[in-house]
Amino acid sequence: MASRAKATILDIAREAGVSKSTVSLVLQGSGLIRPETAVKVRKAIEDVGYVYNRGAANLRKAHSNVIGMVINDLTNPFFAELAVGMERVFQAAGIVPFIANTAENPVRQEEVLKSLLEQGVAGLIVSPARGTTPGAFRRIEAAGVPVVFAMRRLPESRIPAIAPDNHRGAYLATQHLIGKGHRRLAFFGGSSDLVVYHDRLGGFIEACEALGIPAANRTIVEGETSRRSGMACLETALAA
């Protein structure tokens, strides 16, 4: 196929009958341009086939409006809903989210983080994959890229995390069941290699001990954090 010369901002300006600076402001989403002028420029962009190189623009501005959302398991309905919630907030703020699924694989997570750093993201929200070590984020911290963990904390990490009080939540749930008169309780908390597992298990055991449920009346079943595994844990507990 014959190569076609790439359209430039000058081509758009000629097509729309405006200045080059006006086209630049429209591409940047500036509110200084009159709506009718912006519509005319956008039509010219489509007509000449111009593609905005945002990466190059960010280099010129030394600024990016892209945030990386690195999610541990998007096949899990909970984390899919979490990602959608974050994406809605970013969209409303005019920020472009880049969503990546690590499938609970620390190696894949490292690759994704490296790529996002190279793309010059402005910040990262990460729900760490299982098996992630605090050292995995040293390079990001050294680069000065803001990072926040979502739903999962890493032991001994200084990176801030937005997560529920899992210990307190498990305590309240257990307290509720005991208050209803139940005396034989089962706990399904996911995988023991996760901090959240130990937080929840701690709340469960603390409530049982405080409210007189002996160890013999507690069933603790470990499993994966998925619906299928949850059903398997339930069957194991019922069989016991």
Report which of residues 170 and 91 the model is more confident about: 170
Each residue's pLDDT tens digit, 40-87:
998 998 888 787 665 555 545 545 788 999 999 998 888 999 999 999
Amino acid 1: pLDDT: 40
Amino acid 63: pLDDT: 57
Quick one: average pLDDT of 131-148? 87
3-state secondary structure 198-229: HHHHHHHHHHHHHCCCCHHHEEEECCCCCHHH
* Every domain of the chain and the residues it spans: 9-52, 63-162, 166-239
Backbone φ and ψ for 186, nearest 5 degrees, come out as -120, 145
- Does 9-52 match 166-239 in CATH topology? no
Q: What is the second-level CATH architecture of the domain 166-239? A: 3-Layer(aba) Sandwich (3.40)
**Fold for the domain defined by 63-162:** Rossmann fold (3.40.50)
**Fold for the domain defined by 9-52:** 434 Repressor (Amino-terminal Domain) (1.10.260)
- Count Cβ neighbours within 10 Å for each residue of 197-211 and write b for 16 or more, e otherwise: bebbbebbbbbbeee
Looking up tokens 């963990």 gives: 149
How much is the mean pLDDT over the chain? 88
**pLDDT reading at 5 higher than 70:** no
Each residue's pLDDT tens digit, 106-119:
999 999 998 898 88
Each residue's pLDDT tens digit, 152-191:
888 888 899 999 999 999 999 999 999 999 999 999 988 8
Looking up tokens 């529920």 gives: 164
